[in-house]
């Protein structure tokens, strides 16, 4: 059984969550890519952004959170991103959560949980879903589920067809 995420109310994250949702929507409507985007935020400012380019690049590791963490490390000149937060438009998969943890990022915030992504047609392979469940259960403090109106816009755009808007 999938552990349930408890929603939190954190107004300081809302502008960043909104930016992630806009980037994810544009990734679909403008670039025909998957509806995922992420930011790395430190000290109240965006250090880097990333969008999922797995389709374009034929690269299963080209997830938005991985790209954003990679770009933040380059921008800051260090792989230690302690004190930063990943802000994504959707709950991270195990790969993305692990990448953030390896960079010293303890928190990932998002407005859409995995269940909503599954409802939109994004289903993790069973081994990855089990890993995600384990991470939810064993390390729930690293997840900040901040539901907000309009957060499903990237998935709505995807359902209309990539690059169709």
CA 54 – CA 61 distance, rounded (Å): 7
Q: In terms of Cα–Cα distance, which of 94, 44, 42, 43 is closest to 68?
A: 42
Q: Is a pLDDT exceeding 80 seen at residue 3?
A: no
List residues bridging with 49 in a β-sheet: 39
- The label of the residue with tokens 């998969």 reads 93
Q: Tell me: the pLDDT tens digits for 81-136? A: 999 999 999 999 999 999 999 999 999 999 999 988 898 888 899 999 999 999 98
Q: Tell me: the pLDDT tens digits for 55-89? A: 999 999 999 999 999 999 999 999 999 999 999 99
Q: What pLDDT sits at residue 162?
A: 65
Q: What pLDDT sits at residue 161?
A: 81
CA 19 – CA 40 distance, rounded (Å): 11
Contact (Cβ atoms closer than 8 angstroms) between residue 117 and residue 90: yes
The catalytic site residues sit at: 65
Own/partner contacts of 72-79, CB < 8 Å, gap of 24 or more, are: 72/40, 72/42, 72/47, 72/48, 72/103, 73/103, 74/48, 75/47, 75/48, 76/42, 76/47, 79/103
Q: Tell me: the pLDDT tens digits for 9-45? A: 889 999 999 999 999 999 999 999 999 999 999 999 9
């Amino acid at each position: 059984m999938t552990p349930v995420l408890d929603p939190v109310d954190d107004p300081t994250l809302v502008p960043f969550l909104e930016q992630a949702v806009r980037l994810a929507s544009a990734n679909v409507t403008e670039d025909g890519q998957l509806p995922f985007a992420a930011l790395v935020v430190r000290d109240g400012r965006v250090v880097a952004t990333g969008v999922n380019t797995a389709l374009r690049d034929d690269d299963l590791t080209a997830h938005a959170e991985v790209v954003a963490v990679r770009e933040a490390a380059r921008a800051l000149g260090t792989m230690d991103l302690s004190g930063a937060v990943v802000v994504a438009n959707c709950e991270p998969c195990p790969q993305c959560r692990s990448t953030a943890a390896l960079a010293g990022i303890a928190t990932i915030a998002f407005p859409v949980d995995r269940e909503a992504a599954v409802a939109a047609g994004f289903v993790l392979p069973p081994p990855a879903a089990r890993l995600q469940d384990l991470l939810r259960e064993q390390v729930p403090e690293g997840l900040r589920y901040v539901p907000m109106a309009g957060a499903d816009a990237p998935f709505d755009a995807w359902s209309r067809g990539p690059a169709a808007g």
